[in-house]
Amino acid sequence: MSIQFGEVVEDFLAYIMVVSIGILHGANDLLILSTKEKMDKTFRKNLVIYVSIIILCVIIYLFSPFIAILLFVLLSSYHFGEEHLGETINLNFLFNAVYFLAYGLFIFSLLFYQSIFDVAEIMIELTGATFTKFQIETTLLTSAVFLLIGSLYLVLAKKNEVEIFVKEFFYLLLLFLVFKTSSLVLGFAVYFIFWHSIPSIIHQIQFISGDLNRKNILFYVKKAMIYWIISIAGLLILYQLFPQIKLFATVVFVILFAVTAPHTWVMHKMKN
Ligand SMILES: CC1=C(/C=C/C(C)=C/C=C/C(C)=C/C=C/C=C(C)/C=C/C=C(C)/C=C/C2=C(C)CCCC2(C)C)C(C)(C)CCC1
């Protein structure tokens, strides 16, 4: 009973974090595109591209939910890696892409490995199938090998200092402890908010306004508000429209699934 109560509180906290800061961190994507292109006229074109990518993701999901979620995990892995390591690792396009992908896949497989039954529950609601223990273990091991070889190469080729990888190793150890001791949704939320969304919001504010200060933070939040409200409305409508969806987590991941591809595109453009 106490474990269940603990999980309810943990999940509640996680949803608050994801729905507030998590969704917010993507809500200024159109402003970032306009800032990058320095032309107001491109706003409508960017909006059409952004919404078309969302529609394309939904179509892929309707044709094959499992393939769609698999692509979602792969793209998210790359995106998490690029956001976290983009300023540290810069060798060439192929090396960076593989390293970022391996980093994200390692995080996801570590999380899934710790909560295999909860992952199965959400995956079955989303797709009717789930990842097997063997698939998760193989991904965990393969991504770890890629990360290790890639990091060794960067150190031996004198591209990066060894201290960077030692620090990252301790971060991963910390994440392992977080994933082991919390529910699936809270574990995901801790990574998504503290490792990904908050650093990303800081980079975005610096990109849009130059400095990180109170005025620029308020400007960022004000500009994001309308898109944040539309996304939250979408989430609530979806939850009401499909009463067969039992888990709130499923609806949250559907929303994240829909916005991840256009958001990854914008963030990639911002950084390159
Ligand atoms: C601008 C705009 C807008 C908005 C937008 C936004 C708001 C965005 C956001 C964005 C975002 C916010 C992003 C995010 C991202 C996320 C991610 C990247 C995640 C990932 C995750 C995953 C991959 C998961 C997985 C899993 C788990 C963890 C468990 C269970 C199972 C599964 C597999 C599901 C709109 C639409 C209104 C309109 C138009 C314009």
pLDDT at 1: 40
Number of other residues whose CB lies within 10 A of the CB of residue 96: 18
Query: What integer is the mean pLDDT of 29-40?
Result: 85
- Residue whose CA is at the smallest distance from ligand 1 atom 9: 26
* pLDDT value, residue 2: 40
Model confidence at 174: pLDDT above 80: yes
What atom of ligand 1 comes closest to residue 119's alpha carbon? 30
Instruction: Report ipTM (2 d.p.).
Output: 0.92
Q: Is the pLDDT of residue 70 over 50?
A: yes
For residue 50 and ligand 1, the question of a CB distance below 6 A is answered with yes
- Assess whether the C-beta atom of 230 lies below 6 angstroms from ligand 1: yes
Residues 29-58, buried b or exposed e (16+ Cβ, 10 A)? Answer: bbbbbbebeeeeeeeeebeeebeebbeebe
Task: Give residue 271's pLDDT.
Answer: 86
Question: Which of 175, 179, 183 lies closest to 10, judged by CA?
Answer: 183
Alpha carbons within 13 A on the beta-carbon side of 142: 13
> pLDDT over 70 for what percent of the chain?
97
Residue nearest to atom 34 of ligand 1 (CA): 253
Report the 10 Å Cβ neighbour count for 205.
Answer: 19
Amino acid identity at 56: L
Q: Residue 25: its pLDDT value, please?
A: 97
Residue by residue, DSSP assigns 219-261 as: HHHHHHHHHHHHHHHHHHHHHHH-TT---HHHHHHHHHHHHHH
Nearest-CA residue for atom 25 of ligand 1: 73
Q: To test ligand 1's pocket by mutation, which of 52, 123, 231, 232 has the most ligand atoms within 8 angstroms of CB?
A: 231
Averaged pLDDT of the chain? 94
pLDDT of residue 41: 67
Mean pLDDT of 49-54: 97
CB proximity list for 20: less than 8 A, separation 6 or greater: none
Which single residue is written with the structure tokens 């507030």?
20
Q: Which of 259, 264, 265, 267 has the most ligand 1 atoms within 8 A of CB, as the residue to mutate? A: 259
Q: Which of 111-120, 144-153, 240-249 has the lowest mean pLDDT?
A: 240-249
> Would you say the CB of residue 231 lies under 6 angstroms from ligand 1?
yes
Report pLDDT digits (tens) over 77-131.
999 999 999 999 999 999 999 999 999 999 999 999 999 999 999 999 999 999 9
Asked if residue 227 has its Cβ within 6 Å of ligand 1, the reply is yes
Q: What is the mean pLDDT of residues 157-180?
A: 96
> Hey, CA dihedral for 256, 259, 261, 267, is it positive or negative?
negative
> Residue 38 pLDDT more than 80?
no
Query: 142 pLDDT band (50/70/90 cuts)?
Result: very high
- Is residue 73 in contact with ligand 1, taking CB distance under 6 Å? yes
Cβ–Cβ < 8 Å for 232, 23:
yes
